[in-house]
C-alpha cells in the first residue's frame, strides 16, 4: 500500500508529562477505509494518542499526518474532514438534540444542515429525541446523539473513544451495526479505542496493542489470535497485559 492510501501516518510519536512518558515513540499508519483498533489497559496511552491525532494535545516529539495534512502545522484543514465521539465529552445539556446538531452543522460548515439532521435522525432513530434537551436523555440515547454529532460532516476519518462504553448489549450492537454500515457505504476510516474485545474483533481490520505508551503488538485480529494461540482477543489482551506470552508469540516478532 503506498503512502497516499494512508489516512493516518504517525511516526515516532511521543508525549512526556514531566517524569511520565505517556506515549513512547509509536509508529503506525491507518489505511483508507480500514477500522483500526487501539487496545490497551487503562493508562496505556490510547486517549493521549487520540488527543494528539485531534490536535487537542501537542506531542513532545514525532509527526502526525492526517488525510495528508501535517497536524502540527495545518490541523484545521484535516479537522474539517474528520470527527470525534467520546462518552466522556458532553454536548450542552440544556440545548435540544436538534439545536446541538445545528451548532455542529455550523461549526463544520455543513450545507443544508437541517436536511442532514433529518437524514441522521432517520438513520439513527432520533426522531423522538430531536426536540428534547440533551441532558434528559439516557446513556444509550446520548451515545446515539453523540454518534450523530460525529457524523454531521460526513467525516472521512472517525475517531471513537470507547463508543459503546456503558451501553446495554442491544444498544451497543445497534451502534456497532451502524458503524459497520457507515464504513461500508462511505469508505470512512475509523480509529477505535475500546476495552470491548468482542467489539474490536467484530469491527477492526487492524489492531494496535498498546502497553505503557508503546505499541507492543499489531496485526489483524486473526493474526493476533494465531500468534498467541488463543480463541479470542480478550485472552490475547490478558497475555499482553500480564506478560504471559505464548510459545507462538515468543517466536514471532512485532511486525513493523
Partner 1 sequence: MSGSARRVWGLMYRHLALYRRSWPRLLELAYWPVLGMCIWGFTASFLAGRLGAGAAVAVSALLGGVLLWEVCLRSQMGMAISFLEELWSRNLGHVFVSPLRPWELVAALIGMSIIRMLGGVAPAVLLAWLLYAFNLFAMGPVLVLFFMNLMIMGWWVALGVVSLILRHGAGAEPLAWSVLFGLTPFSAVFYPIAVLPASVRPIALALPSAHVFEGMRGVLLDGVIPWSHLLWAFGLNAVWLGLATMLFAWQFHQARVRGALLSIGE
Binding-site member from 103, 216, 238, 241 for partner 1 (CB under 8 A): 103
User: In terms of CB distance, is 35 or 153 closer to partner 1?
Assistant: 153
206: which 3 cell numbers? Answer: 487492524
Does position 189 interact with partner 1 (CB under 8 A)? The reply is: no
Name the pairing type of β-strands 20-31 and 6-17.
antiparallel
What is the 8-class DSSP label of residue 33? T
Site for partner 1 in 27-86 (CB under 8 A): 48, 51, 54-58, 76, 79-80, 83-84, 86
Does position 210 interact with partner 1 (CB under 8 A)? The reply is: no
What is the 8-class DSSP label of residue 96? B
Does position 107 interact with partner 1 (CB under 8 A)? The reply is: yes
Give 128-145 as a 3 state SS string: HHCCCEHHHCCHHHHHHH
What is the nearest approach in angstroms of partner 1 to the Cβ of residue 100?
8
Instruction: Identify the bridge partners of residue 39 per DSSP, sorted by sequence position.
Output: 209
What is the nearest approach in angstroms of partner 1 to the Cβ of residue 113?
9
Residue 208 zone, left/alpha/beta (φ > 0; ψ -120 to 50; rest): beta
* CA count, 13 A, side-chain hemisphere, 107: 14
Site for partner 1 in 138-157 (CB under 8 A): 149
What is the nearest approach in angstroms of partner 1 to the Cβ of residue 162?
14
DSSP 57-73: S--SEEEEEETTEETTT
Interaction pattern, residues 216-245, with partner 1; x per rule: CB under 8 A: ------------------------------
Query: Closest by alpha carbon to 123, among 156, 90, 96, 151?
Result: 151
What is the nearest approach in angstroms of partner 1 to the Cβ of residue 3?
25
Q: Which spans of this chain sit near partner 1 (rule: CB under 8 A)?
A: 17, 48, 51, 54-58, 76, 79-80, 83-84, 86, 88-96, 99, 102-109, 149
Amino acid at each position: 500500500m503506498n503512502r497516499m492510501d494512508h489516512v493516518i501516518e504517525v511516526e515516532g510519536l511521543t508525549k512526556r508529562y514531566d517524569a511520565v512518558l505517556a506515549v513512547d515513540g509509536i509508529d503506525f499508519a491507518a489505511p483508507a477505509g480500514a477500522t483500526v483498533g487501539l487496545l490497551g489497559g487503562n493508562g496505556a496511552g490510547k486517549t493521549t494518542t487520540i488527543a494528539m491525532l485531534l490536535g487537542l494535545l501537542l506531542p513532545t516529539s514525532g509527526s502526525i499526518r492526517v488525510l495528508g495534512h501535517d497536524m502540527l502545522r495545518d490541523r484545521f484543514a484535516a479537522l474539517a474532514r474528520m470527527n470525534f465521539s467520546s462518552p466522556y465529552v458532553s454536548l450542552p445539556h440544556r440545548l435540544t438534540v436538534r439545536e446541538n446538531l445545528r451548532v455542529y452543522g455550523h461549526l463544520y460548515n455543513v450545507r443544508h444542515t437541517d436536511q442532514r439532521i433529518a437524514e441522521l435522525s432517520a438513520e439513527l432513530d432520533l426522531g423522538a429525541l430531536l426536540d428534547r434537551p440533551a441532558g434528559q436523555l439516557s446513556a444509550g440515547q446520548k451515545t446515539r446523539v453523540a454518534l450523530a454529532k460525529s457524523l454531521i460532516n460526513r467525516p472521512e476519518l472517525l475517531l471513537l473513544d470507547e463508543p459503546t462504553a456503558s451501553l446495554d448489549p442491544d444498544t451497543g450492537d445497534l451502534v456497532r451495526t451502524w458503524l459497520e454500515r457507515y464504513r461500508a457505504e462511505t469508505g470512512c476510516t475509523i480509529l477505535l479505542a475500546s476495552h470491548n474485545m468482542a467489539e474490536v474483533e467484530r469491527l477492526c481490520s487492524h489492531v494496535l496493542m498498546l502497553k505503557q505508551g508503546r505499541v507492543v503488538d499489531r496485526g489483524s485480529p486473526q493474526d493476533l489470535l494465531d500468534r498467541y494461540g488463543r480463541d479470542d482477543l480478550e485472552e490475547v489482551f490478558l497475555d499482553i497485559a500480564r506478560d504471559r506470552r505464548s510459545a507462538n508469540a515468543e517466536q514471532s516478532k512485532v511486525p513493523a
